[in-house]
Amino acid sequence: MNLILLGYGRMGKAVEAEALAKGHSIALALDTPDYAQLDAFTNQPGVVAIDFSVPDQAVPNAMACLARKIPLVVGTTGWQREYPAVAEAFRTQGGALLVASNFSPGVNFMLGLARQMAAFAERFPAFVPHLSEVHHTRKLDAPSGTAVSLADAYLSGSKKLTGWKGEAHAYGRYQGCPPYLPIEALREEEVFGIHTLTMASDLEEISLRHEAKDRSVFAAGAVAAAEWMVGRRGVFTMQDVLGL
């Protein structure tokens, strides 16, 4: 493949290293929205863009790729509200878009387990759910995109919760289950990502925990997603790539 990197920070450089190790080429690395440089890659076979930029550039980056029929893999988070309109544009205009809040196989497996935990909690209301995430201090969005995806997965299996809310939360704070899923976001130096989904009662506690030990796991997943996108049209997630 010839990859276009939209965003050339820590993750962009990690994707570059992974791609080169797998024999791919970096056709272009853009750290600013100079979209005229994309014109040479319009509707070219084997070209895929990978976006690890910042939230306010995600939508312009996506629309620039769509206009040039460049398949796009997006790992940037913090723009969930704009996603439905962007996805619809890619569907109706024959583009190729894959958006993932997390590219690691473990987190994507955890999404399915979160739905099962919610179904369990429906049967045993004494358990109060709580979601926490820890990331490095440079992360721009809180809660993280992965935490929001896990919350959405849990909520898809719950009939009694109306949504999620970011807040500090102590186990046992509520006498019963609140009408939403609390998400606690913490920031510490050099943490690549720790997500913990917990259900606690007065007598016992169940937790799902995922820890990323190196950002290369996300880079490897993003490159694998780009490989999978070659020749495809439509809107996809990492669940499609992993067959989950």
Which residues are catalytic, by number?
135, 139
Residue 200's Cβ-count burial label (10 Å; 0-12, 13-18, 19+) is middle
In sign, the C-alpha dihedral spanning 233, 115, 112, 187 is positive
Q: How many residues are listed for the chain in this entry?
A: 244
Other Cβ atoms within 10 Å of 173 Cβ, number: 11
Left if phi > 0, otherwise alpha if psi is -120 to 50, otherwise beta: which for 163?
left
Distance, in Å, from the CA atom of 51 to the CA atom of 53, rounded to the nearest integer, reads 6
Distance, in Å, from the CA atom of 112 to the CA atom of 125, rounded to the nearest integer, reads 20
Q: Are 150 and 112 within 8 A, CB to CB?
A: no
Decide: helix, strand or coil at residue 141.
coil
Q: Are 22 and 226 within 8 A, CB to CB?
A: no
